[in-house]
Amino acid sequence: MNDALPPDAALAAEIERLKIAVPKTRELYREVCVLLFFRYGITPTANRLYQLVRRGSMGTPTEVLAEFWATLREKSRVRIEHPDLPADLGAAAGELVAALWTRASASAGAALDALRGEVEAQRIEAEQSVAAARNEQGRVETALEQRTATLLAAQVEVRGLERAQAEGRAQRQVLEAELEQITGTRVARDRELVELRERFSRDLATQREATERAEERLRASEKRTLLELDRERSAATRLQKGLDEAIRRSERKDADHRRAIEALQAQLGDARHQAGVLQGRLDAVQAENVRLQAEITSLRERKARVPIAPVNVPERPRPTRQSSAVPARKPATRRKKTV
C-alpha cells in the first residue's frame, strides 16, 4: 500500500505549512514561488500563486513574482571565465548567453503580460457573474416573498370561510329548531281547531235536538190548547217567546262559534306565513352553505396549485396569477309551506 500523497495534495499540504510558518503575505508568496520552481519544477504565475495562497490583492503576487524573476536572473547571470579561453572569446560567449537570457526574459515578460490581461478579464467576468447572480438572487427572493404572501393570504381567507361556514351551520340549526317549534305549535293549533269544530258540532246538534224537542212540545201544546185557545193563548205566547229566545241564543252561539273559527283560521294563516318565512330563511342559509363550500373547495385547489419557488435558482420563475371563481350568491326565495 502506497502512503505517498498525489502531487496536488502534497503541494497543498506544503503551502498550508508555509502559511503557518510565514505570516507575512509577500514572504509567503516568495516562498511559494521558490517551492513551485525549484521543488516541483512548475513555472509560477500570478494567477496560480493567488489561487494557491488566497491572500492580499491580485497585485501582490504579480509584484512578488517580478521580484523573484529579477533575483533569479541576477543570481543566474553567466560569467564565463576560463584560463585557456581568450578574453575576446569569453566575452563573446558571455554576450551570447546574455542575449539568450534576455530573449527568454522578454518571452516570459510577454507571457506574463498576456496572463495578466487574461486574469484581469477573468476577474471582470467573475465580478459581472457575481453581480448577475446577486440580482437574480434578489429577484428570486422577491418572487418567493410574493408567493409566501399570496399563500398566507389564501390561508387567512380559507380560515375566514371556514368560520363563516361554521356560523352558517349554527344559524341553520337555530332556524331548524325554530321551524320545529313553529311546526309543533301549528300541529297543536290544528288539533285545537279540530276539537273546537267537534265541540261546535256537538253543541249545534244539542241545540237542534233542543229545538226539535221544543217544536214537538209546541205542537203538543198547540194540540192541547186548540180547545182552550183563549185560555191558553197567553201560555202559547210565553212558549213562543221562550222559543224565540232559544233561537236567538242558538243564533248568538252560532255567531260566537263562527267568530272563534275565523280567529283560529287567522291564527292558522299567520302560522303558515311564519312557517313559509322560516322555510325561505332556511333555503337561503342552505344556499349560503353551498356557496361557502364551493369557495372553500376553490381556495383549497388554489392552495394546492401554488408552487413554492426554490431559493437561489439560476432562472427567475414567472409568477402565475390564479383566479378563484367564486359562484354568485343566489337570492333566497321565500316559499310558503301549505299544511
Q: CA–CA separation, 307 vs 310, rounded Å?
A: 9
Nearest to 18 by CA among 45, 52, 60, 41: 52
- Is 50 or 4 the better-scoring residue by pLDDT? 50
Asked if CATH classification 1.10.287 holds for the domain at 161-305, the reply, yes or no, is yes
Q: Indicate the Cα dihedral angle 286, 289, 290, 292, nearest 10°.
A: 160
Q: What is the pLDDT of residues 104-125, one digit of tens each?
A: 667 766 776 787 678 778 878 8
Mean pLDDT along residues 41-52: 88
Angle at 247 between CA 244 and CA 252, to 5 degrees: 125
Q: Tens digit of pLDDT for each residue in 201-254?
A: 888 888 888 888 888 888 887 777 788 877 777 776 888 888 888 899 888 888
Q: pLDDT value at position 105?
A: 65
pLDDT band at 186 (very low <50, low <70, confident <90, very high): confident
pLDDT band at 324 (very low <50, low <70, confident <90, very high): very low
Q: Is the pLDDT of residue 159 over 70?
A: yes
State residue 98's pLDDT score.
Answer: 67
Contact 334, 279 (CB under 8 A): yes
Give the mean pLDDT of the chain: 79
Give the other-Cβ count within 10 Å of 22's Cβ.
15
pLDDT score for 337: 45
**Hey, what's the cell of 240?**
213562543
| Percent above pLDDT 90 for the chain | 6
Centroid of chain to Cα 246: 84
Distance CA 325, CA 109 (A): 73
pLDDT in tens, 281-302: 889 998 988 999 898 998 888 8
pLDDT of residue 87: 60
The CA distances from residue 119 to 70, 88, 116, in Å, are: 22, 46, 5
Query: Within 10 A of 118 (CB to CB), how many other CB atoms are there?
Result: 12
- What's the rounded Cα separation, in Å, for the pair 129 and 121? 12
15 and 40 Cβ atoms separated by less than 8 Å: no
pTM of the full structure: 0.27
**Domain range list for the chain:** 7-136, 161-305
